[in-house]
Amino acid sequence: MGIGFIGGARAGGTVRHRAFAAILLASAALAGCAVTPKPVTETEMSAVVDADRAIIESSAIGVTGPITLEEAVARALKQNLDYRTRLMEQTLAAGQLDASKYDMLPRLLTAAGYSWRDEDNIRKSVDSVTGRQSVGNPYISTDRERATWDIGLSWSILDFGVSYYNAQQNADRLLVANERRRKAMHNLIQSVRTTYWRALAAQQLREQVRSTITEAEAALADSRRIQENRVRNPVEPLRYQRNLLENLRLLENVDRELAVAEIELATLMGVRSGTRFTLVEPGKLDFRPLGGEVARMEEIALLNNADLREQFYNTRIAATDTRKALVKLLPNISFDYGYKYDGDKYLINQMWQEAGSRVALNLFNLISGPAQIRAAEMNVSAAEAKRMALQMAVLSQVHLARYQYDDALRQYRRAVSISDVDNELAAIARSQEQSQTGGSLERVSAKVTAILSSIRLYHAVAKVNEAISRVQASLGQEPEIGSLDEIPMDTLKEQVRKSLQQTL
């Protein structure tokens, strides 16, 4: 009876454990089969959008007064989301560098486990002299249920070498992210400077453009009535209508372009769409030819250009890959130390310490190693070729930016002269209409021409600012800014003002 009870208990335990294992396997299989695509719902999307908008609006700086060019650039640097993304990429690279430093440390490993078996681990005895099995001396070598844990320290010289070079590469990638942030800053400042003058033209000339369109359409109707009445030679009204219709088309195109300039500037500054703001027109513009010799500009560009510096760091990353390939060819020497515990009741010493060292070499690395080294060296050669090609491109960029600035400066001066003449003609046309020596048709035509000249003048100013930004981007010049989250707006505006005036 006792033997039957024990056997029944063992059988019942076996059944229970097997049933439990079967349930676990079935649950895992069903869970894997139950994974299906789950589209985002409108409620979830709305909640995310509302949360994002709340964060954006809470961090936005409200518009409390007229905005100068310096403030527009400062707002863009602080609030433009695309530029903030570049800053986050730089922060992410810094975090990866900090994390990679821990890879050089030894590994401190800990583990715990539990094992169970339904039958005893019974071993037979063998006579050490005769080699024959002893009939009556089987023994149990392992407990059915036991818990284990251990904690150990492991350090590999090969892993340390690879981790060291990985950390060096992450340090260079952080510098690459910094150069990309600088390039994004150059592009952002250039866009703000150009768009600012277009938006300023919209604010200064919008009402004048629309009122002139109305007057031009009225003048066009008057001209058609004159043509119908045949008061003058029919060729003259048609020629005037042709000129007036062309001016109307230009005015409508300008009105359409000016209508979106403020929206674009608001987006660049990180101001919420629909916010009304007033731009301040700078005082007397004093654009001057670039100072300094071209050789000096080339020297500055080769030292500070963001694209060139980024490629320099990429070359260093490629060179580090070569060193990593060499390190992987070396034997791996590792050292281990551990403190272990085993709950097996048949063990006399359930807790013990272990230490050891090991040398390992992957013999296939001796075969593939030369190919890996050649590939790494070719990568370095390609990176160096790109760097040298980029040096030539940067030098060409400096010469091109200088030429574009000189050309934009000539176009600006020409636009000033044309605008002055057209304004004088418009004034003469107004006085002739008042003295009845001229008609409204001539006045409207002169006014349209004067407005178009004013718009071209604003565009010429925008082109000069765009050219200046290209020169500064080529030379690698930008505001020296610390943390954008900590720097006050007034301090940032002052630094931006100094940077906008810098050309060499």
pLDDT at 130: 66
76 part of a folded domain: yes
Cross-strand bridge partners of residue 279: 67
Q: Which of 52-66, 262-276, 458-472 has the highest average model confidence (pLDDT)?
A: 458-472
Confidence of residue 4 (pLDDT cuts 50, 70, 90): very low
Four-residue CA torsion sign, 341, 342, 348, 354:
negative
Q: State pLDDT tens for residues 401-457.
A: 999 999 999 999 999 999 999 888 888 887 877 776 656 667 777 888 888 888 889
Work out the average pLDDT over 95-115.
86
Residue partners of 438: CB distance under 8 A and separation at least 6 = 429, 432
User: How many domains does the chain contain in total?
Assistant: 1
CB-CB contact of 197 with 465 (8 Å): yes
Helix axes 69-79, 157-229, angle to 10 degrees: 140
pLDDT at 438: 59
114 part of a folded domain: no
| pLDDT at residue 329 greater than cutoff 50 | yes
| pLDDT at residue 109 greater than cutoff 50 | yes
Helix axes 157-229, 306-328, angle to 10 degrees: 150
25 part of a folded domain: no
CA angle 118, 122, 128 (to 5 degrees): 165
14 part of a folded domain: no
CA distance 191 to 83: 12
343 part of a folded domain: no
Residue partners of 142: CB distance under 8 A and separation at least 6 = 117, 120, 121, 344, 346
- Amino acid identity of 368? S
192 part of a folded domain: yes
CB-CB contact of 336 with 354 (8 Å): yes
CA distance 245 to 102: 73
CA angle 412, 414, 415 (to 5 degrees): 65
pLDDT at 5: 39
pLDDT at 503: 58
Confidence of residue 35 (pLDDT cuts 50, 70, 90): low
| pLDDT at residue 27 greater than cutoff 80 | no
Q: State pLDDT tens for residues 427-440.
A: 888 787 777 665 66
CB-CB contact of 186 with 75 (8 Å): no
Mean of all residue pLDDT scores within the chain: 82
CATH number, position 242: 1.20.1600.10
**Residue 465 domain boundaries:** 67-104+164-331+365-500
Q: State pLDDT tens for residues 239-298.
A: 778 877 887 887 788 778 777 888 888 888 888 777 788 898 887 787 888 877 888 888
3-22 residues labelled b (16+ CB within 10 A) or e (exposed): eeeeeeeeeeeeeeeeeeee
Q: Give the whole-number percent of the chain exceeding pLDDT 70.
A: 87
What does the block give as tokens for 412? 């600006």
pLDDT at 339: 92
Q: State pLDDT tens for residues 184-222.
A: 889 999 999 999 998 898 888 888 888 888 888 887 787
CA distance 44 to 193: 39
- Max Cα-Cα span within the chain: 141
CA distance 406 to 503: 13
127 part of a folded domain: no
pLDDT at 455: 87
| pLDDT at residue 7 greater than cutoff 50 | no
Confidence of residue 464 (pLDDT cuts 50, 70, 90): very high
Q: State pLDDT tens for residues 134-158.
A: 666 677 778 888 899 999 988 888 8
| pLDDT at residue 501 greater than cutoff 90 | no
110 part of a folded domain: no
